[in-house]
Structure 1
Amino acid sequence: MRDFLKYATASAVGTVVGLVALIAVLGLSLGSFFAFLLVTASRDSAPQVEDGSILVFDLATDITDSVPLSRTSAVIGETLAGEMPSLSTYRALAALEQAAEDDRIAGLYLRGNSTEGLATLGELRQALQTFRDSGKPIIAYTMGWSERDYYLTANADTLWLNPAGLIEFNGFRAETQFVAGALDKYGIGVQALQAGRYKSAIEPFVQTQSSPEARQQTEALLADLWQEFLEAVSQSREVPVPRLQQLANAGGLLVAEEAKAAGLVDQVAYYDDVLAELRQLTDTEASDDEEFPQIDLWRYSRVATDDTEPLQPDQIAVLYAQGDIVSGEGDVGFIGSESFSRTLRQLGQDDAIQAVVLRINSPGGGASASEVIAREVNRLRQNKPVIVSMGDVAASGGYMMAAEADQIFASPNTITGSIGVFGLVLNLQEIANNNGITWEIIKTARFADIDTWARPQTDQELALQQAIVNTLYERFVTRVAEARELSEEAVNRAAQGRVWSGQDAQAAQLVDEQGGLMAAIEAAATAANLESWQVVEYPRPRSLEEEILETLFGGQLEFRSQDPLTQEVRGLYQQLQTLQHLNDPHGVYTRLPFTTEIE
C-alpha cells in the first residue's frame, strides 16, 4: 500500500486533489497541508529588505560545507517550527559580502554562540572585516563567549557583555576518549594495524593513553591553533599577545567588569541597552514596543544568492565534500564513493561548468573509497581547473582527494595531512564464549577465515593484513608525490600519519595558498579565464516533486538543540555512527583519530 501511494503521488504530484486525497489517507490535517502548500509556493520569493535594516547574525546558525538536500523542508522548519535552517558556507560568506555593499543594510548585529570549527570561523572573520571596512558598524552582544565565539566576535566594532556575563579565555584543549579498557572488560578483542608512526586513530581502541608521537603532534597542532587565535584577537582588540597569554594563564574566566578592564569588551550593559543602540542606528524611536528594521542572515542569503535567477553560461561549481568517506552511495553527512564520483563525472560533462571548487571538510574514511574519489578528481582535472578549498579538516582520505587538484587553499587553522593508513580487526571470541556461544569453521584454504570475528587473528594473518596496509600507504605517498610534483622522500617526511595545521602544511608543501572558499573561487575564475561567472553549489537540492514525496513518506525535519546534555549525547552517538560506517571492503582506512575533540 505504501509503495502504491508513493508511485501514485509521483505521477500526480501537480494535482491538488490527488495530494489532498493522499493527505487524508495518511491522516494529516488539512491545515498542515495548506500551510505546506503556502510555504512551498512562496519559497522562491526573496524576502524584502527595508531601508536602514540591521543584518542579524545568530552565531547558532548551522553553517555547513554542504547544501541542504531539501530547501522546502528548510523553509517549513523555519516557518512552522521557528528554527533556523542550515546555511552553506558559500551562502553565508556571500551574504556578508553583499551586505557590505547593500545601501539598505545599516549595520550588523552578532548574537548567540557558535559551534563551528576554527577554520570556518576564520573565514567568517574575514567576511566581517570586509563588512567593517565598508564603514558600517558591527555590534556584538552576549551573556557569555567561549574562545570559539570570541575568535569571531572580536572583529566587531563594539562588544557588549551582560553584567552577569562571562568570557572564557583559558586556552585550547584536546580530549581523546579511550575505550580500550571497556572493550577489554566486555571481552571484545581488538588487533591494530598501521602504516605511519603518527597514525594514532587506532590508539583509543588498543591503548589507555596517547603514544609519544600522538602527543607530540597534538601539542604542535594546538600550539599553532592557539597562536593563530591570539594573534587574531590581538589584531582586532589591540591587546598585545603576551597580555592575552597572561590572562589565559591567570585563569581565563573573566566576569564582565574584568573583561572590560582587560580590553576584551567595550560595554557592560543589558540587552535593552543594546536594543536602544540598534534603534539609534536605524533611526527608530527609542520605544520598547517598537521594532527596528532587521533581517536575519539566513533570509538575507536568499537575497544575496537568488535561486530564481536564470543560470549563466559561465559557471563555477562549488562541490561540497563533508563527512566521512564511505564506499557506495553513502548517506546524509557522509561522502559516498559512488554518488560523489558520479557528481564529479557530471560536472566534467557539463559544458556550462568552467571550473570546479572542491570544498573539503572531511577526516577521511575508507581507503578504497578514497582512492575511487581521488581518481575521479584527477580525471576531472584533465578537462577543467579544479581548485580545493579546505574547511575545518581535510585530512587522510580527505587530503588524498585534495592532492589531485590543480591548487590547494587552506586556512591557517585547517587540520590537514594525516597521510597514513590503519586497520582494526575485531573479534568476539571472549564475550561470545562467556555467554555460551561457540563457532565451528570449515574451510577449503588456510586463510579462508581471515576475516572471521570468531577468534583473534594469527601472527601469519596479521602479517598478511599489515602487508596490505603497507602497500596502501606506499600508494598513498606515491599518489601525493605525483599529484603534487614532489619527491616521495619529501612526501614521506610530511606523511607518517602526521596531522598538520594549514599553516604548517604549506611549509611542508602539502598546501599551496592560505585562504578560504572565496579566495579559491577567485583562483578558479582566474584559471578558467573568466571575467564574470555564476557560482552554483553541488550536490543540487532535490526537486519540488522529490521534496513533496520525502515530506509525505518518511521525511523528517532535523533541528539543532543547543542544550549541553543533548550535544554531549549526540557527540557520543556520532562516534558510534562513525564505527557503523567503517565499510571499507578490505577493512583499512585513511582517517583521522576518532575521538579527539579540540576546544
Structure 2
Amino acid sequence: MKRFLVGSLAIIGALSVLAVLGFFFLVVAAAASKPSVPGALVLELDLDKPLPEQVAQDSLAGAFGSEETTVRDVVDALEKAAKDERVKALLVRVDQPGSAAVIQELRDAVKAFRASGKKAIAYADTFGEGGSGTGAYYLASAFDEIYIQPSGDVTLTGLMMETPFARDAFAKLGVQPRIGQRHEYKNAVNTYTEQGYTAPHKEAMEKLLGSLYGQVVNGIAEGRKLGPDEVKGLIDQAPLLGQAALEAKLVDGLLYRDEVHEKVKKEAGEDSRLLFLDKYLERVGRPNTEGETVALVYGVGGINRGKSDSNPLSGEQVFGGDSVALALRKATDDAKVKAIIFRVDSPGGSYVASDTVRREVQRAREKGKPVIVSMATYAASGGYFVSMDADKIVAQPGTLTGSIGVFGGKMVTADFWSKLGVNWESVVQGKDADIYSSDSDFTPEQLAKNEASLDRIYADFTAKAAKGRNLPLEQLQAVAKGRVWTGEDALANKLVDALGGFPKALELAKEAAKLPKDAEVRVQVFPRKKQPAEVFAELLGGGGGDNSEDEANASTATSPLQPVLAQTQALYRLGVKLGVIRSQTGTLSAQVPDTRF
C-alpha cells in the first residue's frame, strides 16, 4: 500500500511537471507563430479607456493574451505605419483617451501619420453622454474626418476642475490636521485644512485651467479650420445635437459604425482589411531597433522608497526609488548606451526616494551620458525633483509640472477615538518619541521642529532646482512656492526646455549624444521586460537577483499573496489620510487636479 501511494504521488508529480512544461511550450509556440500582415490594411484603434504609460514589468498579461496598449505603443505603431505602403488609413473610435498630455501625445502622432499623405478618420457613437466629451473631441479634431451616429451629439462643454474641502467634516469627526506647507501654493493639504479655495489656491487653479482651455480651443480651431472665437462660441452653445454639430462643421457626417467602416474600406480599396493597432505593432515590430543605443527608463506612479511595485487588481503602479535608480544606473554603466530618455509620469511622493533618483540622473551626466526627461500626464513635486537635473526636459503643453514645494505633519485623532470610547495611552523613551503620533498634538517645540524640517527641505529643493535649471535662486523661487504649472507655462518660466512627447525627446537625445538628426537608433527599455516564465517563477517563490545590482531586483518579486497585500496597503494608505495611522513629514507631492474634459 505504501509503495502504491508513493508511486501514485510520483506519477501525479510528474504529470504536474509535464502540464507546467506543456503550458510554457504553448505560450512560447503562440508567441512564435505570428500571423502575417495583409497586403492592404486599415489600422484600427479603439480608445474605450485611457491608455496607460507603462505595463508593469511583472505583468502576466502577455502569457494569457494581449497586454494593454500603452501610449508609446500607439506612437510607435503610427510611426511605423506612416512608412508602410500596406497601411492605407487609420480608423479610431474615440471615447476615453485620457489626460490632456496623453491626448496631445496622440494628436502629435496622428498629425505625423497624416503628414505622410495617409488619411486618419475618427468616429464615435457620441461625444459625451451625461458628461463632457471635450477631451475626446479635442483628440478627434486632429483627424482628417470626424463622424458620429445620427443620434449622437457633441458635448463640447469646456473644462472643469473640482476640489473637495473637508475641514468641517474632520472637525465633526474629531480629527485635527496639523500639516505645514511650503508655501502658499502647495495646496495638496487644503482639502484637510480649508473649507474652500484660498486666494493663492484659486489663482493657481484658474491659471492652470485657463492654460488648458486655451490649448483645447486652439487645437480644435486648427484642426477644424475655425476661428478660436468661433470655437469658444460653440463651446458655450454645447451640447450640440448631431445635425447642429454637422452644420457647425464640428463633424463631417452622421453615420453609424457599419457605415463608417464601409466608407473607410471602400476608400482604402476593396481588398483592404482592418487590423488592430496592437496586432500590427506585434507583427511588424517597433521602429528604432537598429543603430546606436538610446536607453528608455520609466518612472511611473507615486514615489516611494524601495522597489517599484504594482497592484494586480487596480493596475496602480508605484515608482520605487531604488528600482528606478537601479535602471538609471544600469543604463549609465552600459557602454553601448549613448543617451538616456527618462519618461516621468508622477505626482510625487517621498523626498528621500526622489533624491535617490535625482542623484542617478546627476551621476549619469557626470559620466558623460546625456539624460533627456520626457514628461507625461504629470511630473509634479517629487516628479519634478527627479527631472530637474536632466540635460533637457520635454513636456506636453498640458503636462502638470512644477509644484516645487513640500508639506508634512500629522492628523491628530485623539478626539475621534474619544468619541468612540477608545483611549490611547503611550509610554515613551526620548523627549520627542511621539512627535508624529496621531494620539497627541504637537508641543510648541515639536511644531517648531516640524516647521524647521519643512524649511530645510524647501531650501534644498529650490537650491537644487535652481542649479539644475541654471537659474538664479530668486528667479526659481518666484515660480516655486508649491505651484503647479501646465507644460506651456512651465516653458515660459524656464522650468522645461521644449514642448512635445517621445519623438521630441528622442530628437534631443540624438542631439545630446552628437548623433546626426536622421541617424537610426535602437531604443532599449531598462530594465528589460520580464518574460512570463520569469514571472511564474517568482509567483512560485523563485526569482530575484544575486545582489543589489542585479536587474532582477528592479521590481518586487510577485507572490501569491500579492493581491491581498496590495489591498491591505490600500487600507493602510486610507488610514494615513484619515489620521488613524500616523503620517510622515517631508512629502514632495502635488494635488493633481481632476480636470473634467
TM value normalised by structure 1: 0.85
Structure 2 gaps, min length 5: 1-11, 128-132, 311-316, 542-557, 563-569
Alignment partner of 1:542 out of 530, 540, 554: 530
* 1:340 and 2:315 matched: no
Q: How far is the alpha carbon of 1:87 from its aligned partner?
A: 2.6
Structure 1: distance between partners of 2:414 and 2:30: 59
Supply the AA of the counterpart residue of 1:339.
S
Aligned partner letter, 1:155 = A
1:587 to 568, 581, 585: 585
1:450-461 matches, within 5 Å, as: 450-461=435-446
Q: What is the CA-CA distance between 1:460 and the residue it aligns to?
A: 2.4
1:499-514, aligned counterparts within 5 Å? 499-514=484-499
Letter in structure 1 aligned against 2:16: A
Match of residue 86 from structure 1:
68
* 1:446 match: 431
Return closer, same or farther for 1:247/1:595 CA change in 2, 3 Å cut-off.
closer
1:437 matched to 2:422: yes
Q: Cα–Cα, structure 1 residues 115 and 72, in superposed 2: closer, same or farther, change >3 Å?
A: same
CA contact (8 A) 2:134 2:158 kept: yes
Q: How many angstroms apart in 1 are the aligned matches of 2:46 and 2:23? A: 26
Question: In the alignment, is residue 387 of structure 1 matched against residue 382 of structure 2?
Answer: no
Count residues with an aligned counterpart: 548
Distance 2:462 2:296 in 1: 27
Counterpart residue number, 1:216:
203
Q: CA deviation at 1:73?
A: 2.0
Residues 71, 541 of structure 1: 8 Å contact kept: no
Q: Say whether 1:116 aligns with 2:122.
A: no
Cα distance change on mapping 1:533 and 1:582 into 2, 3 Å: farther
How many angstroms does 1:488 deviate by? Answer: 0.6
1:14 corresponds in structure 2 to none
Q: How do 1:127-206 residues align onto structure 2 when only pairs under 5 Å count?
A: 127-145=109-127, 146-206=133-193
- Structure-1 separation of matches of 2:181 and 2:290: 48
Query: Equivalents in 1 of 2:39, 2:460: separation in Å?
Result: 58
What's the TM-score, normalizing by structure 2? 0.85
SS of aligned partner of 2:297: strand
TM superposition shift of 1:367: 1.4
Q: Distance in 2 between matches of 1:36 and 1:53?
A: 32
Structure 1 residue runs without a partner (length 5+): 1-16, 25-29, 79-84, 286-291, 559-571
Alignment partner of 1:295 is 2:281: no
How far apart are the structure 1 equivalents of 2:437 and 2:257? Answer: 62
1:317-356 aligned at under 5 Å gives the runs 317-332=295-310, 333-356=317-340
2:292 is aligned to 314
Work out whether 1:227 is the aligned partner of 2:214. yes
- The answer to whether the Cα contact below 8 Å between 1:428 and 1:455 also exists between their aligned partners in 2 is yes
The residue aligned with 2:314 is none
Identity %: 30
Distance 1:586 1:428, change over 3 A: closer
- State whether structure 2 residue 469 is matched by structure 1 residue 484: yes
- Alignment-derived partner of residue 16 in structure 2: 21
* Aligned counterparts of 1:395 and 1:406: Cα–Cα separation in 2: 18
In the TM superposition, what is the alpha-carbon distance from 1:161 to its structure 2 partner? 0.8
Aligned AA for 1:265? V
Matched, 1:400 2:385: yes
Q: Give the deviation of 1:528 after TM superposition.
A: 1.1
User: What is the letter of the counterpart of residue 57 of structure 1?
Assistant: L
Give the one of 233, 247, 251 matched to 1:265.
Answer: 251
Provide closer, same or farther for how the CA distance between residues 302 and 222 of structure 1 changes in structure 2, counting only shifts above 3 A.
same
Distance 2:500 2:339 in 1: 18
Q: Distance in 2 between matches of 1:542 and 1:579?
A: 34
| Aligned match for 1:529, one of 514, 530, 555 | 514
Q: Which amino acid in 2 is paired with 1:322? A: V
One-letter identity of the residue aligned with 2:375: M
What is the DSSP-based 3-state SS (H/G/I as helix, E as strand, rest coil) of the residue aligned with 1:358?
Answer: strand
For residue 140 of structure 2, what is the amino acid of its counterpart? T
Query: Displacement, 1:414?
Result: 1.1
1:567 paired residue number: none
Aligned equivalent of 1:284, options 260, 270, 274: 270
Partner Cα separation in structure 2 for residue 441 and residue 381 of structure 1: 49
The alignment partner of 1:590 has SS state of strand
What are the superposed Cα offsets for residues 258-311 of structure 1, whole Å, 9 maximum, x if unpaired? 1101110000122221121123134338xxxxxx5121111122245359x9x7
1:104-148 CA-to-partner distances (Å, cap 9, x unmatched) read 111110114124211121121111111112222112211112111
Q: CA RMSD in A?
A: 3.0
Given the superposition, is the C-alpha separation of residues 298 and 551 from structure 1 closer, same or farther in structure 2, using an over 3 Å criterion?
farther
Closer, same or farther: CA 313–131 of 1 in aligned 2, 3 Å = closer
Give 1:254 deviation, angstroms: 1.2
Which SS does the other structure have where 1:365 is aligned? strand
Counterpart of 2:74 in structure 1: which amino acid? A
CA distance in 1: counterparts of 2:524 and 2:383, whole angstroms: 22
d(CA) in 2 for partners of 1:150 and 1:449? 53
Aligned match for 1:372, one of 344, 356, 360:
356
CA distance in 1, matches of 2:284, 2:58: 19
Residue in structure 2 matched with residue 104 of structure 1 by the alignment: 86
User: SS of the residue aligned with 2:189?
Assistant: helix
Q: Which amino acid aligns with 2:424?
A: W
Q: CA deviation at 1:473?
A: 0.3
Q: Are the structure 2 counterparts of residues 36 and 182 from structure 1 closer, same or farther at C-alpha, using a change threshold of 3 Å?
A: farther
Q: Pick the aligned partner of 1:358 from 342, 345, 350.
A: 342
Which of 350-359 and 450-459 deviates more? 450-459
Cα deviation, 1:507-551, whole Å, max 9, x if unaligned, reads: 111111122111111111121123331011233221342133357
**What is the alpha-carbon distance in structure 1 between the residues aligned to residue 578 and residue 32 of structure 2?**
38
3-state DSSP of counterpart to 1:58: strand
Match of 1:465 in 2: 450
Are the counterparts in 1 of residues 372 and 505 from structure 2 also a CA contact under 8 Å?
A: yes
Tell me, yes or no, if the aligned pair for 1:94 and 1:304 is still in contact at 8 Å: no
CA–CA distance in 2 between the matches of 1:121 and 1:347? Answer: 29
1:248 corresponds in structure 2 to: 235
Counterpart of 1:423 in structure 2 is: 408
Question: Structure 1 CA distance, aligned partners of 2:436 and 2:456?
Answer: 19
